[in-house]
A and B are shown apart, each in its own frame.
Chain A
Amino acid sequence: AQTVTQSQPEMSVQEAETVTLSCTYDTSESDYYLFWYKQPPSRQMILVIRQEAYKQQNATENRFSVNFQKAAKSFSLKISDSQLGDAAMYFCAYATKSSGDKLTFGTGTRLAVRP
């Protein structure tokens, strides 16, 4: 079974600083996709960034970037220049077509941003 592990239940960062959220996953597949979703207090799930496993280049989206280490099965999210609006729950997720195209989520990391 595929599993996604987020070992940091809570993190805190000073506004304008950088923070890294950790995620590891377990799979025997070679072709898969990894995601980071943000859930603010409104509960709306918002896609932050997506990485395709066959791509060696790390995905970036403005202030958000990932460090994808395929051999280590690690997929961390770096948030640069943190803003108050970044405060939210962040979920790491994994999907592969061979598993029925289903998303498997980690348990989440709650990020607080200190002004």
Chain B
Amino acid sequence: NAGVTQTPKFQVLKTGQSMTLQCAQDMNHEYMSWYRQDPGMGLRLIHYSVGAGITDQGEVPNGYNVSRSTTEDFPLRLLSAAPSQTSVYFCASSYWASKETQYFGPGTRLLVL
């Protein structure tokens, strides 16, 4: 099993550009989520999904879109990048977030100029 994979590992964007951060898992997990990690603020939930076709907002959803067309994939789209979106982004998956271990991807470091 590859676990949770994320691409790219690092990306530089200009303000206003759009891009998609990819996340995939091969563990047949229903629950997937996206977090951002900023210095001194821990991890904050952006969006999450409890299964294919179902998504919901987390704590900091503005400026991001998600979709879940398959169990395996959960891409995060930045519609118009802003410097405030400079961060490290983590994707995670589990059977249930509260009861089970969440498996995290290696992270994507995003720099918006």
Tally of chain A residues near chain B (CB < 8 A): 25
B54-70, CB < 8 A from A:
56, 58-59
Least distance between A10 CB and chain B CB atoms (Å): 12
Instruction: State whether the Cβ of B82 lies closer than 8 Å to any Cβ in chain A.
Output: no
Question: Complex Cα distance A113/B7, Å?
Answer: 32
Instruction: State whether the Cβ of B113 lies closer than 8 Å to any Cβ in chain A.
Output: no
Chain B interface size, as a band, is 20 to 34
Question: Complex Cα distance A38/B96, Å?
Answer: 20
Which one, B41, B42, B107, contacts A43 given CB within 8 A? B107
Whether B101 lies near A96 (C-beta < 8 A) is: no
Given A43-B88, A45-B104, A100-B56, also A105-B42 (CB < 8 A): yes
Whether A107 lies near B42 (C-beta < 8 A) is: yes
Given contact pairs A32-B98, A95-B98, A105-B35, a sample of 7 additional A-B residue pairs in the complex whose CB atoms are under 8 Å apart: A96-B98, A97-B96, A101-B97, A102-B58, A103-B33, A105-B43, A106-B42
